[in-house]
Amino acid sequence: MTNYTPTKILDVKGQNCPMPVVKTKQAVDGLEAGDVLEVLATDPGSMSDLGGWAKTQSNAELLDQVEDGDVYKHYVRKTE
């Protein structure tokens, strides 16, 4: 696993689709270019949902996704 230093941590544990994606988009919109958001989710669907969402974004890049027990960690960098 690559270590990222998140600028902000977004905790969406216990929330199901589409809320992890909705909240991630809102959080990314509030970041500066180059900032890294760590998203903590418990919805297994967040792995594919956030991956798919990131592919459609011009201002966000999915750096990594890590399964850590019951928690899925997603690292998103704001690109512009």
Residues marked active site are found at 17
24-55 per-residue burial string, b: 16 or more CB within 10 A, e: under 16: bbebbeebeeebbbbbbbbbeebbebbeebbe
